[in-house]
Structure 1
């Protein structure tokens, strides 16, 4: 059966890489990246679940996330987060939309493909990320972890997606920057494209979709230079987290 539905992740696909947002957040919070990463690891060990996983499934609030992180930092560190600046406000100062890829998705929609957004995201941050993207104009279906109480890579959230779309996994291709999320999608029968940069993602989608997936070479070249992943590891993993 031909693939006619393109499902995309949010953070690290429709935005700049998560590692850039993580580094910018640490600087704005007046923390080193090691201090921030260490606090997240310590909070994970204390509660048995990453703070972002709890936040993205609605089990804790943004304020509780902040409290868990502050509790694991040296005394006085992260004071910016206690002085009227929310975690989300600082996080989104380092977040930029991946405009070339968004434009490419508009092209796919104009060619008759259905589009869906499958995101691990945060209740308090919905106005922030929706302000950066033409969500309702672009996507037929949006599945957001905090509303469903389950997040990628749990199979449950993919089944919510299939139910909302009214199609089976064999008709979908999924684009995500996190390997475990792509693996989960493939195990359920979807095709998956691991996002590293826009140029490569467009090339892989063209292979999957055929002529309808062909994109603008100029747009892809610009995005490839601007959106390449920085460094060897991305904080789009279970410890560092962030909407994706």
Structure 2
């Protein structure tokens, strides 16, 4: 058993399906290839001098403003592009439509809570997307805290964002665990004294989390929490 007191879960890529899978699902809905959409996202961010998703994750732009700029960026690079199926100004609603949560990790959150652990979500996210992703994971009544970059105007991997989590939870970095799929975020948290678990797949993460907490999280096939 470690000296952990609070377990923080990332949303995108941990409690949700992997990010590449989300882009592929969005392509199926809209026809926009991941590389094309990601380049447009980078173009919008470059105009502001920030990382790819920071314009909306730090609430520098509203979802509508961001969607308008995405459309402009796409049309600049691809004048003949077909955007008839894409609803860029209400991006989140379309992005999350039909997307399931990562059930084994959601079950792990619930199991930890039942075992008496303090659990929260530490996410780079978007103001207008909250109704969709929070309904998707269904953990509002389970987690103690949700710290969302778009509400704080700072985001992982910035130290200020991790400090918000420490202040809200009242738990020191050395007693806090971040589970995240983005190595940059893991390295930033570790540098600040956090315990970290770099998520690569469900079995790896759940096995490590079980070892760290002493809570039985590996379930027989076909059994749900």
TM over 0.5, shorter chain? yes
| Residue in 2 that maps onto 1:205 | 209
Corresponding residue for residue 57 of structure 1: 58
In 1: Cα distance, 2:12 partner to 2:23 partner: 11
What RMSD, in angstroms, separates the aligned Cα atoms of the two structures?
2.3
Cα offsets for 1:71-91 (capped at 9, x unmatched): 222224252367687211221
**Residue in structure 1 matched with residue 114 of structure 2 by the alignment:** 110
Deviation at 1:21, TM superposition (A): 0.6
Q: TM-score, normalised by structure 1?
A: 0.82
Q: Secondary structure at the match of 1:137?
A: coil
On the 8 A contact 1:182/1:192 being kept in 2, the answer is yes
Provide closer, same or farther for how the CA distance between residues 47 and 68 of structure 1 changes in structure 2, counting only shifts above 3 A: same
What is the 5 A alignment of 1:1-244? 2-73=3-74, 74-80=78-84, 86-93=90-97, 95-209=99-213, 211-212=214-215, 214-218=216-220
Q: Is the 8 A contact 1:30 1:77 kept in 2?
A: no
Q: CA deviation at 1:98?
A: 0.9
Larger RCO (CA under 8 A, 6+ residues apart): 1
Q: Following the alignment from structure 2 to structure 1, what is the Cα–Cα distance between the partners of residues 70 and 4?
A: 42
**Distance between the aligned counterparts of 2:60 and 2:192, measured in 1?**
26
Gaps of 5+ in 1: 223-244
CA displacement 1:105-138 (0-9 Å, x = unmatched): 1111111110011011111111111111233221
Q: Residue 62 of structure 1: CA displacement? A: 0.8
Bigger mean CA offset, 147-156 vs 85-94: 85-94
Q: TM-score normalised to the size of structure 2?
A: 0.89
Instruction: Check the 8 A contact 2:70/2:88 in 1, yes or no.
Output: no
**Preserved contact between residue 5 and residue 171 of structure 2 (Cα < 8 Å):** no
> 1:215 is paired with a residue of what secondary structure?
coil
